[in-house]
Amino acid sequence: MNRQSQFSYDCNACGRCCRDKVITLAPYDVLKIARAAGVSTGEAVRRFTLRRGSILKFGADGACVALAGTRCAIHDGRPLACRLYPLGVERDSASHGERFVMLEPVPGSLGVYGGDGTVGGFLEAQDADEHLEANDRYRGLIRRMRVRVADLIDFEKIEPREFWRRATREALAESAYDPNPLIDALFDPDGLVGHRDDDEAEMFVHIAALAVKIGKTTEPDMLAAAAVMLAVSLGYSPAEAIGI
Ligand code: SF4
């Protein structure tokens, strides 16, 4: 589906879709969650996420930690995946293209699907483009990290596939991962640049500060894991970080 495709969906706030999911978070998602919850981004990472900020946390009962009864307690700052639901977006790194897919309805959900609107209209109503545009801006950092890795490592001596395989394993580990200040900085803009009242302004300052931090990082393993983590958090495959 593209933005012109016929689609509509009425959410009836039954809360069933907010259970038993794996929802990937981008840095901008964490910033918006923090603002909606009235906490710092560091506190939002601790309270609402797993895997260092990159996955939304669900409790032992299967419910999202932001679910209050059948309502989202951080509705104004809900992540992109929740805004898009029941659509998903697939991003093509080569063409910068996007494709929307309809996700499997949750059994018992009171949401009503229809065709009296368009995907574009639905995205607009959900304020999804703010997140999609922010994610596009963060994307430039992936290439920057990859170039920095290439500056620091001699791939004539280190086998590149094994190097990137290790980085991918490290980025996607849900526990027992190595400390990585670059990944921490990705998901904690307040910690890197300080809280700004304007989310968009903070995003721009955050990206600029991350670019500087990347330039100063001398550990290729750290850079590579952060590149994979950022790629996956923005909805790309790890191959986006590797540049293939
Ligand atoms: S963040 Fe809100 S909308 Fe998204 S899964 Fe959690 S409760 Fe549901």
Q: Is the CB of 67 under 6 A from ligand 1?
A: yes
Q: Are 72 and 63 in contact (CB under 8 A)?
A: no
pLDDT at position 117 over 80: yes
Query: Pick from 127, 160, 181: which residue ends a domain?
Result: 127
Q: Are 54 and 232 in contact (CB under 8 A)?
A: yes
Q: Please indicate, yes or no, whether residues 139 and 235 belong to a single structural domain of this protein.
A: yes
Q: Please indicate, yes or no, whether residues 96 and 166 belong to a single structural domain of this protein.
A: no
Question: Per-residue pLDDT averaged across 98-112, rounded?
Answer: 90
Query: Whose Cα sits closest to atom 1 in ligand 1?
Result: 78
Per the listing, tokens 């100063």 go with 216
Q: Are 187 and 55 in contact (CB under 8 A)?
A: no
Q: Are 32 and 191 in contact (CB under 8 A)?
A: no
Q: What are phi and psi of 203, to 5 degrees?
A: -60, -45
* Confidence at 49, pLDDT banded by 50, 70, 90: very high
Question: Per-residue pLDDT averaged across 214-237, rounded?
Answer: 96
pLDDT, tens digit, 9 for 90 and up, residues 136-188? 999 999 999 999 999 999 999 999 999 999 999 999 998 889 999 999 999 99
Question: Per-residue pLDDT averaged across 187-214, rounded?
Answer: 98
Q: Please indicate, yes or no, whether residues 104 and 212 belong to a single structural domain of this protein.
A: no
Cβ neighbours for 138, distance < 8 A, ≥ 6 positions apart: 26, 27, 28, 207, 230, 234
- The residue ranges of DSSP E strands in the chain, in sequence order, are 6-10, 49-50, 55-56, 67-68, 71-72, 87-92, 97-102, 112-118
* Confidence at 105, pLDDT banded by 50, 70, 90: confident
Q: Please indicate, yes or no, whether residues 226 and 168 belong to a single structural domain of this protein.
A: yes
Q: Please indicate, yes or no, whether residues 179 and 68 belong to a single structural domain of this protein.
A: no
Q: Is the CB of 34 under 6 A from ligand 1?
A: no
Q: pTM to 2 decimals?
A: 0.95
| Sign of the dihedral defined by the CA atoms of residues 47, 51, 57, 61, in that order | negative
- DSSP 8-state class, residue 18: G
Q: Which residue has the higher pLDDT, 130 or 93?
A: 130
Per the listing, tokens 């939002």 go with 44
Q: Please indicate, yes or no, whether residues 22 and 47 belong to a single structural domain of this protein.
A: yes
Q: Please indicate, yes or no, whether residues 100 and 151 belong to a single structural domain of this protein.
A: no
Q: In the prediction, which pLDDT does 194 show? A: 97
Q: In the prediction, which pLDDT does 108 show? A: 87
d(CA 35, CA 118): 30
* Confidence at 93, pLDDT banded by 50, 70, 90: low
Burial of 159 from C-beta contacts in 10 A (0-12 / 13-18 / 19+): exposed
Tell me, yes or no, whether 234 lies in a domain.
Answer: yes
The region of weakest confidence among 61-75, 87-101, 104-118, 131-145 is 87-101
Cβ neighbours for 28, distance < 8 A, ≥ 6 positions apart: 80, 131, 134, 135, 138, 199, 203
Residue in 14, 17, 18 to alter for ligand 1 test, most ligand atoms within 8 A of Cβ: 18
Domain that holds residue 40: 6-127
* Confidence at 243, pLDDT banded by 50, 70, 90: confident
What is the CA(144)–ligand 1 centre distance, in A?
32
What is the CA(72)–ligand 1 centre distance, in A?
5
Question: Per-residue pLDDT averaged across 38-49, rounded?
Answer: 98
* Confidence at 97, pLDDT banded by 50, 70, 90: confident
Total domains in the chain come to 2
